[in-house]
Amino acid sequence: MTPLLALSPLILVCATAIVVMLTIAWRRHHDLTATLTVIGLNLALVAQILVWWLAPLDVTPLMRVDGLSIFGGVLILVATLACATLGHAYLEGARGPREEYYLLLLCAAAGGIALVSSRHLASLFFSLELLSMPLYGMLAYTYRERGALEAGVKYMVLSAAASAFLLFGMALLYARTGHLDFAGLGGALASAGGDGWLLAGMGLMVVGLGFKLSIVPFHLWTPDVYEGSPAPAATFLASASKVAVLVVLLRLLQSAPAAQDAWLHSLLAVLAFVTMLAGNLLALMQQDLKRLLGYSSIAHFGYLLVALVINEGLAVETAGLYLVTYVLTTLGAFGVVTLLSSPYGGADASRLHHYRGLFWRRPYLTAVLTVMMLSLAGIPLTAGFIGKFYIVAVGVEASRWWLVGAVVAGSAIGLYYYLRVMVTLFLPEPGMQRRDATTDWAQRAGGVVVLALAALVVLLGVYPAPMIEWVRLMAAT
């Protein structure tokens, strides 16, 4: 009974997905579907928090419920909740079926929750696919838009290729060690030393996971997919999906000491270095906010990789904390884009000129986006500052001066484009305001979500102690 209880969040999400499916079959009703989804996700979130009293617990050889998985699960569920709420606002104007979006969202969330608790390559693979498959559909959900269709297809093809790399890597590891579970794999890797096949296997897995995290040079899909896909789907891709993959990579690196192999280690360090700089440099001249956020997320995962590369001292805490700030900030930033593009009517309002002078029309919505931009740039009074502080701290602690230098340089470059977005919001209007949020946006659920996120980002920036304690507690088990 206890193992089932420990998996109750996953079971609840899956059950919600089935209920939603049956409801759609019985009667199409947008509001009803959305409400059911949100109720189910909230129940799962409560369950995810309650599971803490059972952790740590191994559930079958495939899953492990511990601090890390609860941490990832909470973040994924929060992100999914936000995506469901934002999706409701967005899809109200959509033609054609709207209800299946929630079905796909729930399936992807289930994949994410399973992924963060995997401790076996088999469960890693199937939950990663469960996470990715619904995303193809979500990204191309507004398939009448050329961009959305392109985004969906592009993500599908490249994701399949990345899965192939991942499988090949797993196969190599299995062929050499005969283990598929992380712990056994770690032990075998440690005793085998620097065997070439094993390194190749690990390297191929890094390629596969690096694709999902859009690490340079596997990032090429990111800007196009972010730009073309409908905003709520892009939100999910940028937040929940990346959290899940990063958490499992963290678990993999922690349990497989071969990751500390000098060669693989320097490979990761180089990837982190290149990702930070390339992500920020490529974002400089973007004219599209979603595209810019895509490049910015590449840069942020470069910062996160720094924590993974160092993997000692404050590293796990740093990765966790940075993920929290990243998720909150990304949800907020995409949330504003979604609200401005809601209800759906043609391509999203994400060109920078759509945002010109927004402050004088929608001061509070602009304040939210400003806070998010400041947080992404890591300016004090926002949660992003605490994250940036941690990243620099972990680099200084390990005396990795090259990585610290890249973090500093990357942040300095990054300021330029975040400031560009920010100042655009406040510039005088040129008289072209084609797209705008509905006037009562703040009273709607989506508006409440972004306002709450902004408040949270500021609150955690000023008083981060509870967040730090929570992350430490989760990282400790």
Partner 1 sequence: MILVWLILIPFIGGLLCWQAERFGEQSPRWIALGTMLLELALVLGVWWHGDYGLNAAQGASDWALEWRADWIPRFGIEVHLALDGLSLIMIALTGLLGVLAVVCSWHEISRRIGFFHLNLLWILGGVVGVFLAIDLFLFFFFWEMMLVPMYFLIALWGHSGSTGNTRIQAATKFFIYTQASGLLMLVAILGLVFAHHAATGEYSFSYEALRHTAQNELSPQMAWWLMLGFFVAFAVKMPVVPLHGWLPDAHAQAPTAGSVDLAGILLKTAAYGMLRFALPLFPEASQAFAPIAMGLGVLGIFYGAILACGQHDLKRLVAYSSISHMGFVLIGIYSSTELALQGVVILMVAHAFSASGLFIISGQLYERLHTRDMRLMGGLWGRIKGLPGIALCFVAASMGLPGTANFVGEFLVLFGSFDAWPWVVVVASGGFVLAAIYSLFIMQRVYFGPAKEETPLGGLDGRETVMMLGLLVLVLWVGLYPGPLLDTSQAAMQNVEHIMTLEETPAMPEETP
Should residue 397 be labelled a site residue for partner 1 when binding is judged by CB under 8 A? yes
- Residue with token string 């089935």: 18
- List the interface residues with partner 1, window 287-346 (CB under 8 A): none
Count, in order, helices (H) and strands (E) of the chain.
21, 2
Q: How many angstroms separate the CA atoms of 70 and 76, rounded? A: 10
For partner 1, which is the closer residue by CB, 104 or 392?
392
Of 303, 469, 273, nearest to 377 (Cα)?
A: 303
CB of 374 to partner 1, least distance (A): 7
For partner 1, which is the closer residue by CB, 171 or 476?
476
Q: How many angstroms separate the CA atoms of 249 and 262, rounded? A: 18
Should residue 463 be labelled a site residue for partner 1 when binding is judged by CB under 8 A? yes
The stretch near partner 1 (CB under 8 A) out of 7-15, 70-78, 119-127, 386-394 is 386-394
Should residue 153 be labelled a site residue for partner 1 when binding is judged by CB under 8 A? no
Q: How many angstroms separate the CA atoms of 173 and 171, rounded? A: 5
DSSP 120: B
CB of 466 to partner 1, least distance (A): 10
**Which of residues 109, 240, 392, 460 is near partner 1 by CB under 8 A?**
392
Contact string 347-376 vs partner 1 (x = CB under 8 A): -------------x-------------x--
The stretch near partner 1 (CB under 8 A) out of 117-125, 260-268, 393-401, 449-457 is 393-401
For partner 1, which is the closer residue by CB, 8 or 424?
424
For partner 1, which is the closer residue by CB, 263 or 360?
360
**Which of residues 46, 281, 379, 452 is near partner 1 by CB under 8 A?**
379
Tokens linked to 147 = 């961009």
- List the interface residues with partner 1, window 417-446 (CB under 8 A): 419-420, 423, 426-427
- Residue with token string 């030393």: 193
Should residue 166 be labelled a site residue for partner 1 when binding is judged by CB under 8 A? no
* CB burial string 112-145: b at 16+ within 10 A, e below: bbbbbbbbbbebbbbbbbbbbbbbbbbbbbbeeb
Of 453, 118, 87, nearest to 237 (Cα)?
A: 87
- The span from the first CA to the last CA of the chain, in angstroms, equals 22
Calculate the alpha carbon distances from 334 to 198, 231, 415, 447 in Å. Answer: 40, 7, 19, 12
For partner 1, which is the closer residue by CB, 19 or 379?
379
Should residue 236 be labelled a site residue for partner 1 when binding is judged by CB under 8 A? no
Should residue 396 be labelled a site residue for partner 1 when binding is judged by CB under 8 A? yes
CB of 429 to partner 1, least distance (A): 12
Helix (H) or strand (E) holding 59: strand 57-59
The tally of CA atoms less than 13 A away on the side-chain side of residue 126 is 9
Rule CB under 8 A: which residues touch partner 1?
A: 360, 374, 379-381, 385, 389, 392-393, 396-397, 404, 407-409, 411-412, 415-416, 419-420, 423, 426-427, 463-465, 468-469, 472
